[in-house]
Amino acid sequence: MATFHRARSAEQRAERRQSILRTAAGMLDEMPVAAVSLNELSRRVGLSKSAMALYFESREEVLLALLTEAAGRYRAETADTFPQWADPSAPAAVRARQVAARLAATFAAHSMLCELLSAQHAILEHNISVDVATRYKRASRDAIRWLGEQLREPLPELDDERALRAAHMVVILVGALWTRSRPAPSLLAAFRADPSLAFMHPAFTEAFEAAIATFLTGLIAQAADAT
């Protein structure tokens, strides 16, 4: 456990925040989001809970900051690749499936992002101030707008409004299907014991790819009908 002295400068404060975030990220390698407590986090970084409040108002704010950082890494790693996600000469429905496959693969490669998205509405958006909520939701809005813009590269049939809807659905489906693909041990045992329950335990990549491909294909058809 590290022992810190109070940060005096803006640079020291920023470094302290990053130390807290790195520690929280390490905890997520060991446990689910719901098990990350402010008590344990403060113990690991060597700060009292009252001292932690100088940097983050709650463990939810810490985890939302981690989510924002994880989303930033996803954007940085995929930003230049979207034009190559689909064969431009292929029919729209084929390109939708190709894009869906790439979305599934790239999100699956960012497990912390998926884990945090799965806890976003039920856990992370509670116990936060209006200031934190506003800051986070604005960052979320900008990330969704960015993804919508990227999706229009391989899928030019989507107008701005439909691309934004597609991007928002990507985020929703990642969170929902990541949770369902990682059930509690008792549920996992039940699924193994009764094959008729297997469809309730989807593999994340396959389930997400199928769901978002269907959604994208529907939006493309809708756009064609509107012209």
Mean pLDDT by 10 residues, the chain (227 residues): 58 90 94 92 91 92 96 96 96 98 98 96 94 96 97 96 98 96 94 94 96 98 89
The answer on 63 and 46 residing in a single domain is no
66, 50: one domain? no
- Does 152 lie in the same domain as 136? yes
In CATH, what number is assigned to the domain containing residue 138? 1.10.357.10
Amino acid present at 72:
G
Same domain, 124 and 200: yes
Say yes or no: 72 and 111 in one domain: yes
Q: Are residues 126 and 42 both part of a single domain?
A: no
Domain boundary among 35, 56, 77: 56
- Tell me how far CA of residue 77 lies from CA of 39, 69, 82, 128, 189, in angstroms: 33, 13, 11, 30, 36
CB atoms within 10 A of CB 49: 12
Task: Note the pLDDT of residue 2.
Answer: 46
Asked if residue 178 and residue 68 are part of one domain, the reply reads: yes
Angle between helix 160-180 and helix 111-119 axes, rounded to 10 deg = 90
What pLDDT, on a 0 to 100 scale, did the predictor assign at position 13?
Answer: 85
Domain around 77: 58-226
Q: Are residues 189 and 101 in the same domain?
A: yes
Specify the number of domains making up the chain. Answer: 2
Model pLDDT, residue 1: 46
Both tokens of 76, joined, read 């940085």
Same domain? For 12 and 41 the reply is yes
- Kindly provide the b/e burial profile for residues 190-222, where b requires at least 16 CB atoms within 10 angstroms of the residue's own CB: ebeeeeeeeeebeebbebbbbbbbebbbebbee
Looking at the fold, whether 43 and 63 belong to one and the same domain comes out as no
Domain check: are 149 and 198 in the same one?
A: yes
* 69 and 42 in a common domain: no
What pTM value is reported for the model?
0.90
Residue-level pLDDT at 7: 56
Amino acid 5: pLDDT: 54
- Which amino acid is residue 186, in one-letter code? S
Q: What is the CATH number of the domain that holds 29?
A: 1.10.10.60
Do 70 and 126 meet the contact criterion of CB atoms below 8 Å apart? Answer: no
User: What's the token pair of residue 46?
Assistant: 């060597």
- Written as one string, the DSSP assignment of 166-209 is HHHHHHHHHHHHHHHTS--HHHHHHHHH-GGGGGGS--HHHHHH
Domain-terminating residue out of 9, 40, 56: 56
Looking at 11, 31, 56, the residue that finishes a domain is 56
